């Protein structure tokens, strides 16, 4: 589907930890076999033991302490801009829509087939996608659904179900705290950097009244996070150097590893309260949700800067 974004994976797909198409293998310490995975919408963009659609993995994870934690080696910087991941960071994603589509397919074509089993097959083909040339997420989703149809002998066109999925995801909502957190950051240039299709994501941001100076998608960049190019386009659009930017995202693989590779500061939005593994990319900061972002930015920019920024914005 257009705009499909990153999932975690089923319990028996724990090996599929890194969600991105055409990943640079040198970015991460994960097995090379776990690279080159597409991101899928409807699922939380986390890579540390989450099951699909943001459900916590039942094994191997422990809740981390609540609140904000800062990496000890972070130098005080002057932050000039912010970049944000979309799904799982700004936009709430969940399991219900994909399960509903799977159940509709089963009801239409294979009554008695377990919808979870079908969705598992779709998931497996989606994550195995490794196109030689760039495909947008709508194309990857349609191709993987067609493969799942073949697995179960379903003689049907996948496109109507992908369109159904797209229509449902157009109703995706921002997390409750997002607008307030962004309001506290008013005056600081900001962009969205998302593994998503262009029109789909921009439509969701517009319907949620979320304003950004630039929206950079994988479809526009013709590559997926954590590839450097998608971040570089955002930096060019904001006219800032990477060392003066904080990237905020919920994926250690796509967001933290990708942004840190360019020298950007990073905030990991750990909504699930998961522990970072010893081999996982290390964020500079960790927050439970976006409420934790403005205090960090205020510290990095200094109280006078933030006060002046807020005063200037209120005068408009």
pLDDT at 281 (0 to 100): 94
pLDDT at 94 (0 to 100): 61
Report which of 285, 205, 232, 265 is spatially closest to residue 80, judged by C-alpha positions. Answer: 265
Q: Give the whole-number percent of the chain exceeding pLDDT 90.
A: 54
Q: Is residue 16 situated within a structural domain?
A: no
* Gap between the Cα atoms of 204 and 187, Å rounded: 22
pLDDT digits (tens, 9 = 90+) for 237-261: 999 999 999 999 999 989 999 999 9
Is residue 105 scored above 50 in pLDDT? yes
Q: Is residue 180 situated within a structural domain?
A: yes
Q: Is residue 222 situated within a structural domain?
A: yes
Q: Is residue 194 situated within a structural domain?
A: yes
Q: Is residue 217 situated within a structural domain?
A: yes
* Gap between the Cα atoms of 184 and 227, Å rounded: 30
**Spatial contact of 71 and 300, defined as CB atoms under 8 Å apart:** no
> What dihedral angle (degrees, nearest 10) is formed by the CA atoms of 294, 295, 300, 303?
100
- Phi and psi at residue 141, in whole multiples of 5°? -65, -45
pLDDT at 117 (0 to 100): 95
pLDDT at 168 (0 to 100): 84
Is residue 25 scored above 50 in pLDDT? no
Q: Is residue 30 situated within a structural domain?
A: no
pLDDT digits (tens, 9 = 90+) for 159-175: 999 999 888 888 899 99
Q: Is residue 108 situated within a structural domain?
A: no
Is residue 288 scored above 90 in pLDDT? yes
Query: What is the number of domains present in the chain?
Result: 1
What is the pTM (predicted TM-score) of this model?
0.70
Mean pLDDT, residues 207-224 taken together = 95
Is residue 19 scored above 70 in pLDDT? no
Is the model more confident about 42 or about 195? 195
Q: 279, exposed or middle or buried, with CB in 10 Å at 0-12, 13-18, 19+?
A: exposed
pLDDT at 95 (0 to 100): 63
CA distances from 243 to 75, 76, 80, 104 (A): 11, 11, 9, 48
pLDDT-derived band at 303, boundaries 50, 70, 90: low
**CATH assignment at residue 306:** 3.40.50.1000
User: Structural domain of residue 262, as residue ranges?
Assistant: 61-91+173-315
Q: Is residue 210 situated within a structural domain?
A: yes
What HEC string does the chain produce? CCCCCCCCCCHHHCCCCCCCCCCCHHHCCCCHHHCCCCCCCCCCCCCCCECHHHCECCCCCCCCCCCCEECCCCCCCCCCEEEECCECCCECCCCHHHHHHHHHHHHHHCCCCCHHHHHHHHHHHHHHCCCCCCCCHHHHHHHHHHHHHHHCCCCCCCHHHHHHHHHHHCCCCECCCHHHHHHHCCCCCEEEEECCCHHHHHHHHHHCCCCCCEEEEHHHHCCCCCCHHHHHHHHHHHCCCHHHEEEEECCHHHHHHHHHHCCCEEEEECCCCCCCCCCCCCCCEEECCHHHHHHHHHHHHCHHHHHHHHHHHHHC
What HEC string does 1-52 produce? CCCCCCCCCCHHHCCCCCCCCCCCHHHCCCCHHHCCCCCCCCCCCCCCCECH
Is the model more confident about 268 or about 69? 268
């Amino acid at each position: 589907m257009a705009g499909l974004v990153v999932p975690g994976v089923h319990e028996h797909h724990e090996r599929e930890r890194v969600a991105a198409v055409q990943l640079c293998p040198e970015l991460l310490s994960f097995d090379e076999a776990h690279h080159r995975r597409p991101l899928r919408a409807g699922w939380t963009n986390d890579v540390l033991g989450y099951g699909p659609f943001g459900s916590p993995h039942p094994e191997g994870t422990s809740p981390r302490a609540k609140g904000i934690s800062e990496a000890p080696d972070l130098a005080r910087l002057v932050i000039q801009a912010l970049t944000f991941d979309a799904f799982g960071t700004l936009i709430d994603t969940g399991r219900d829509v994909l399960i509903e589509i799977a159940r509709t397919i089963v009801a239409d074509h294979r009554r008695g087939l377990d919808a979870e089993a079908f969705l598992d097959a779709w998931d497996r083909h989606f994550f195995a996608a490794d196109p030689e040339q760039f495909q947008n997420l709508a194309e990857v989703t349609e191709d993987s659904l067609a493969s799942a149809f073949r697995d179960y002998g379903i003689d049907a066109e996948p496109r109507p179900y992908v369109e159904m999925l797209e229509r449902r995801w157009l109703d995706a909502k921002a997390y409750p705290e997002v607008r307030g957190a962004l309001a506290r950051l008013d005056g600081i240039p900001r962009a969205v950097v998302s593994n998503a299709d262009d029109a789909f994501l921009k439509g969701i941001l517009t319907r949620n009244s979320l304003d950004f100076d630039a929206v950079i998608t994988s479809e526009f960049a013709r590559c997926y996070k954590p590839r450097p190019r998608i971040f570089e386009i955002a930096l060019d659009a904001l006219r800032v150097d990477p060392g003066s930017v904080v990237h905020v995202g919920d994926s250690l693989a796509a967001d933290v590893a990708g942004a840190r590779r360019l020298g950007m500061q990073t905030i990991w939005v750990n909504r699930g309260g998961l522990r970072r593994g010893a081999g996982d990319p290390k964020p500079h900061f960790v927050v439970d949700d976006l409420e934790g972002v403005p205090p960090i930015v205020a510290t990095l920019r200094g109280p006078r800067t933030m006060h002046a920024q807020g005063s200037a914005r209120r005068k408009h």
